[in-house]
Structure 1
């Protein structure tokens, strides 16, 4: 963790936007810090390479905006936001990541993030996004915004019917969910499944939760039993 000159929380004022960064890649963390430091009306409070340090320090620092990566060691950034938001209700969390899939987007927004930008965002767009989220907006990269709009344009899903037998329950799973269930049944770890399918571990866990819900089970062993009963 790196703390900067004004790491102590300030009284309410119209001073510079106080920003903290949670990013495990040193080069990216340094680049973001330089952008913030060089921007007018902004001040870098601290930066962290992992969620544990951020969770320990940020409640006392009370930054205005936190730039949060998604793919972090030990704990992902979405879970970090979920834990920090109740402790920092006035702090705005903006995800800054390479992930543009709807699962991560909606998980982040549900956790308490109010902005979602891709790391390919330009310097000017990032600065504008920080200003927007601090002013009460919800900045999103254009590609992200389009996905959000498309998802709301889709018809609401019908309530699922409880299948009569394990075979019909398996049939309710999507092709990807059946593929992951098969690998879970074969004993593959989440990371091994993620590597084989070119997905993030977080995405594999999300699929797994959906599989459990559709099969009405609560564990891998119960899901595996239904898989082999089909």
Structure 2
């Protein structure tokens, strides 16, 4: 039998943690192994519990979700962080993604969306709430237009990619799903998954979200 996905819940509100625990623990393939009320506690508990996925609040007293995400990802690269927030996309949430989070989901997401996001992040996929995807892309491209942090000379990340892999890379940067990429290029979804895996490996990216950021920073899209 496959081991359940081990989860750490991080939020400064106990009732919110309780609500998430009730939903997640009801699933046979998910197990909440611990909770934390702030970033410092999250870092400590991640070190001792070694969860597969951390569900991370952004705005917390003391060490916030951004710093905690950065510390956890640096110390435990196999642990994935899924950011949960009440805001569509604010400075804090975007910074958390840049710090290494593998997903971004709003706290008012439907139950099935939450469960799907946890499983997707665990298997290495990036997750963005549907109404956040466009905002993230606009944010990164806006930095390029404004000469912000994402601007400047960046080496072409596609140099090691095949022509098809470059096409898939660009499609990912536009926010397309595997199914949409398959439809665009007349490929099977399994073939697309193979291409995505190769792109991730060649570019040294953690997941799709970081491919999106890398593509926009390099001006690929």
**Do both share a fold (TM > 0.5)?**
yes
> 1:11-32 CA distances to partner (integer Å, 9 max, x unpaired)?
xx94110001001111101001
- Higher mean C-alpha deviation, range 49-58 or range 83-92: 49-58
Q: CA 1:158–1:26 in structure 2 vs 1: closer, same or farther (change >3 Å)? A: closer
What is the CA-CA distance between 1:158 and the residue it aligns to?
5.8
Whole-Å separation in 2 of the counterparts to 1:114 and 1:72: 19
Partner in structure 2 of residue 131 of structure 1: 119
- Report which of the two structures shows the higher radius of gyration computed on alpha carbons: 1
> 1:36-60 CA distances to partner (integer Å, 9 max, x unpaired)?
1001300111011112222122112
4+ residue runs over 6 A deviation: none
Task: Return 5+ residue gaps in structure 1 as ranges.
Answer: 1-12, 161-230
What is the CA-CA distance between 1:104 and the residue it aligns to?
2.7
Q: How many equivalent residue pairs?
A: 148
Give the conservation status (yes or no) of the 8 Å contact 1:102–1:147.
Answer: no
Partner in structure 2 of residue 80 of structure 1: 68
What is the CA-CA distance between 1:155 and the residue it aligns to?
8.0
Give the conservation status (yes or no) of the 8 Å contact 1:102–1:148.
Answer: no
What is the CA-CA distance between 1:76 and the residue it aligns to?
1.1
Partner in structure 1 of residue 5 of structure 2: 17
Q: CA 1:158–1:117 in structure 2 vs 1: closer, same or farther (change >3 Å)? A: closer
What is the CA-CA distance between 1:83 and the residue it aligns to?
1.4
Partner in structure 1 of residue 91 of structure 2: 103
TM-score of the two chains, using structure 1 as the length reference? 0.60
Q: CA 1:153–1:65 in structure 2 vs 1: closer, same or farther (change >3 Å)? A: same
Whole-Å separation in 2 of the counterparts to 1:52 and 1:17: 23
Partner in structure 2 of residue 94 of structure 1: 82
Q: Give the alignment partner of residue 121 of structure 1, picking from 106, 109, 113.
A: 109
Indicate the SS of the match to 2:83: strand
Q: CA 1:105–1:57 in structure 2 vs 1: closer, same or farther (change >3 Å)? A: closer
> 1:156-194 CA distances to partner (integer Å, 9 max, x unpaired)?
33658xxxxxxxxxxxxxxxxxxxxxxxxxxxxxxxxxx
Indicate the SS of the match to 2:98: helix
Task: Return 5+ residue gaps in structure 2 as ranges.
Answer: 149-221
TM-score of the two chains, using structure 2 as the length reference? 0.62
Whole-Å separation in 1 of the counterparts to 2:22 and 2:147: 49
Matched, 1:43 2:31: yes
> 1:59-89 CA distances to partner (integer Å, 9 max, x unpaired)?
1211000000001111211111111111111
